[in-house]
Chain A
Amino acid sequence: EAQVTQNPRYLITVTGKKLTVTCSQNMNHEYMSWYRQDPGLGLRQIYYSMNVEATDKGDVPEGYKVSRKEKRNFPLILESPSPNQTSLYFCASFSSRTGDYGYTFGSGTRLTVV
């Protein structure tokens, strides 16, 4: 089944403890992106990647890092999480090869930083 897989689904951590949220897609998509979703603020893009070793900042990149060493994986790294990073996070991917640029989303990771 074509899908975007995020792990973990739920995570509670303490301020300052480094964490990684993994994202993997099995559709050979070039483009991958991370979003956070907060009440009243909608979906905001954190980082995106056009292909392997090509990443760029979205609208809210502060406090986050990403890497794209393989086409299928796009982990989101929080080096020193803070409570204002408590949010619902989504990974998404699409392919320009299909011509429609339609997005496929993961199921989300709910992160709580205490």
Chain B
Amino acid sequence: KQEVTQIPAALSVPEGENLVLNCSFTDSAIYNLQWFRQDPGKGLTSLLLIQSSQREQTSGRLNASLDKSSGRSTLYIAASQPGDSATYLCAVTDFNKFYFGSGTKLNVKP
């Protein structure tokens, strides 16, 4: 069974810092990997989706990379802002099912 792990579980950084969130998965047979943001008590907002044939995707200050062979993905956030404070989840899909990590709770201090 696919297992998705996110490290670290929590992260606190000062505003302006560049940071990296990590996601690893045990089975490389995936269709895609998706990064989400979740604010407390709210739904999940899709940030970036990387197809299995792609290596990275970028949106504004966010850049996500995918290395299928090693079962790893990273989410890079440039010039972090207090508004980036949220929980970030990664999910992989093998088409029939989606598997989520437990998330990284990010706090960006002003």
B106 part of interface (Cβ distance < 8 Å): no
B43 part of interface (Cβ distance < 8 Å): yes
The answer to whether B98 touches A102 (Cβ under 8 A) is: no
Q: How many interface contacts (CB-CB < 8 Å) are there between A and B?
A: 58
B70 part of interface (Cβ distance < 8 Å): no
Partner of B31, one of A56, A92, A101: A101
The answer to whether B41 touches A106 (Cβ under 8 A) is: no
The answer to whether B43 touches A107 (Cβ under 8 A) is: yes
B78 part of interface (Cβ distance < 8 Å): no
Which chain B residues numbered 71 to 110 have a C-beta less than 8 Å away from chain A? Answer: 89, 91, 93, 95-98, 100-103
Interface size of A in residues (CB-CB distance below 8 Å) = 26
Query: What 0/1 pattern do residues 82 to 114 of A give for CB contact below 8 A with B?
Result: 000000101010001001111111111010000
The answer to whether A42 touches B102 (Cβ under 8 A) is: yes
Shortest Cβ distance from B22 into chain A, in angstroms? 16
Interface size of B in residues (CB-CB distance below 8 Å) = 23
Which chain B residues numbered 29 to 67 have a C-beta less than 8 Å away from chain A? Answer: 31-32, 34, 36, 41-46, 49, 51
Shortest Cβ distance from A56 into chain B, in angstroms? 8
The answer to whether B95 touches A102 (Cβ under 8 A) is: no
A74 part of interface (Cβ distance < 8 Å): no
Partner of A100, one of B41, B43, B51, B89: B51
Expressed in whole angstroms, the Cα–Cα distance for A90 and B32 within the complex equals 20
10 A-B contacts (beta carbon < 8 Å): A43-B89, A90-B44, A100-B51, A101-B49, A102-B49, A103-B36, A103-B98, A105-B43, A107-B43, A108-B43
Q: Using a CB–CB distance below 8 Å, which chain A residues touch chain B? A: 33, 35, 40-43, 45, 48, 50, 56, 58, 88, 90, 92, 96, 99-108, 110
